[in-house]
Structure formats: structure tokens, C-alpha cells
Amino acid sequence: MNKRRNFLKKSLAASAVLSATPSFGFHMVKNPKPEKEIVGHGDYQYQIYRNWAKLGTTKPLLNCHEMVMDSKGRLIMIGDHPANNVLIFDKSGKLLDYWGTSYPGGHGLSLSQEGEDDFLFLTDSGWYLNKKGEWTPHNGRVSKTTTDGKVIFDIGHPLTIGIYKEGDPFRPTETAIGPNGDIYVADGYGMDYIIQYSPNGEYIRHWGGHDNTDENYNLSNAHGVAIDYRDKDNPLVVCTSRNEESFKFFTLDGKYVRTLHLPNMQVCRPVFDDANLYAGVCWSQPKIGETTWQDHTGFVTILEGDKVVSNPGGTAPKYENGTLQKSYQLQHKPILHGHDVCVDEDKNLYICQWNANRTPPLKLERI
């Protein structure tokens, strides 16, 4: 694998150079799109395969939100098209199965391995695109299902257990499963709480939200949540605070530990693989006021520990006096809106994109 990577890096170096110029505005002359799309930096460079997913014409897509790999090596994706919420691929991109019409705001997807069985946790964010092309609110939903779509149980609106008041929106975006099976729900489009439940869906505690006495507990667009097992003796709950361009780390019972700030990166959920943290970057605005939330300014970021080492689709990470500087999307926009990253056993990446012209996930093959 290393020999192959070194060979490809040398043979495709010219293509990679073409992707190296940052974009700080919209008035620069764009470089031509390279013949082979190579993105990333250092030891984390990838060739983009745009036609990896083989959908045919009968499986429509709207937005591809998240993807996980199950114990059989299948890649399971959740989206928000009303005709099929969940798509299941093999690693060649062949569509193996699809199901679900009950999650029109399909957004978050987490995998729980319980013995020899795989289970999915799906979140419906409470927003869907109606026939007029308007984003419309509905009731958010969190479900535990089998991989073929059988619902095991739902977690209800927090109003029913007294932790939300009448009128408080519940628009969940993500779940994470703790080492003892506890379920952590991120209400990223609602009240910005992280709500912890037992493995059976019984309420334990919540934290986050706004206006805390200790500002470290505040979350602003708590878009993602994951469990960091890199220190096996001290697993942590990692929460996205996307409007703060940060990940915040907490103990399993919700005590604040630290903040990792990633300037200019409005990141989605953290994805852990070995010592690495991967995340989709939905936006990286060049200048305040130059872009809107629908403009394409995203990429992917990769960290070794707490250090950014590669930005596939973005400019090279740069540190000055130990401080990470801002990163930007490349001019030719190889990745539009990075929404999620799935990593396979060969360290290839599968990128789900939001607002990407109804395109399927990209495959980024590591070189």
C-alpha cells in the first residue's frame, strides 16, 4: 500500500499542484480543473471518484447527510428524499438495498454493534423540502432500527418528560452511543442540548443549550455528537458547536473538559478512526458578507490528535506560533458542502454532501 501511494503521489504531483491556490474572494481567475482530481495534503492525499455510487435513474437523491459502515462492510447512508431515506451500498458503489419513507428530514445516522448484531440510530431533523422547494418544519424524531428498517423504539419529544417547555422545538441532528449503551442525542437544530438516555431510551440528564453561567457549556448549533475512544481509559463525549467553529469535549456524564477551535471551519460531526479525527466542513466563508448559507464553500478536514494535517478540498493547514490559521475552499470547488465522512479499512473516505445538486456520495481513494 505504501509503495502504491508513493508512486501515485509522484505521478500525480502536477495535478495536486493545480489545486493549491486558496480562494479569498470571488474576483480571482480560477485555475482549470485538473484532469485527475487529487485533494489533500501530506500523507493524507486522495483521488476523487465522483461516479462511485451506481444509482441508475430510479433511486432519487436530495441531500446526502451521513454514512456509516456496518460489520459486513456495507456503507449505509441517510438522506432526506421522501422516496428513500436510507441507501445501502457495497464498497464498489453498487446499491444493495434502500428503505424508509418515514424520515423526510433524515439527517443523522449512527451504528451500534450489540453482540453480533448491528443497529442504526436515525435522526430526523424536523426540516424537509416541500414540493415548492421551501424548507418546512415538522416534528423531529429519533429511532433505533435494525439495518433493514424495523423500528425497535423511538425517543419521544423531551416535552413529554418535562425537560422542554411548551413551544420548545426538538429538531435532533445526531446521536452517539456510549460504552455502556447510553444514547446521546444532539438537538442541533432545536434547543442545542445534548440529552443523555439509557440504552432503553430512559432520560438521564442533559447539558448544553444557551446562557449557561459557565460559557464553556454553551453550544451553538450542536450539529454533531460522537464518543472519542482514543484514550481507552477515558472516553469523552465530543459535541459540535458549529457556529463557534469548535468541538467541545465532555465527560460521559456531561462535565466540560476542553474546546478545540478550528477557525473558519463550520464543522459537522467528528468521526474518529485510530488516532485521527475527520469532519466535513459545511462552510468556510472567505469574507463576512460575501457568501450565504446556501453557497458552496465546504471541504473536509483531518486531524492527528488535535492538529489539522490535511484539508481535502481546501487549502493546506497552516500554523503560526502554534495557532491554526483560517482555511478556505479551493477555487475549483472539488467538494461543495462537506457534511459527513465515512472511513473504510483501507482509509478511503466517503463524503456525504448537503446542497450538492442532488449528487451521490463521493469516494476519496487514498494515494
β-bridge partners, 49:
363
Mean pLDDT (the chain, rounded): 90
Higher pLDDT among residues 22 and 326, named by residue: 326
Check residue 16 and give its pLDDT: 43
**Positive or negative: CA dihedral 25, 26, 27, 29:** positive
Q: How many CB atoms lie within 10 A of CB 275?
A: 9
Cα separations in angstroms, 156 against 143, 210, 279, 314: 9, 22, 28, 39
Q: Would you give the distance in Å from CA 61 to the centre of its chain?
A: 17
Higher pLDDT among residues 10 and 350, named by residue: 350
Query: Per-residue pLDDT tens for 309-331?
Result: 999 999 999 999 999 999 999 99
Check residue 274 and give its pLDDT: 97
Query: Per-residue pLDDT tens for 152-177?
Result: 999 999 999 999 999 999 999 999 99
Query: Per-residue pLDDT tens for 273-307?
Result: 999 999 999 999 765 566 777 899 999 999 999 99
Whether residue 181 contacts residue 112, with contact meaning beta carbons closer than 8 Å, is answered with: yes
Higher pLDDT among residues 225 and 1, named by residue: 225
β-bridge partners, 201:
none
The number of C-alpha atoms within 13 Å of 162 and in the hemisphere containing its C-beta is: 4
Parse the chain into domains and list their residue ranges.
Answer: 2-366
Which residue, chain included where needed, has cell 451521490? 360
Name the grid cell of 25. Answer: 474572494
In the CATH hierarchy, which top-level class contains the domain 2-366?
Answer: mainly beta
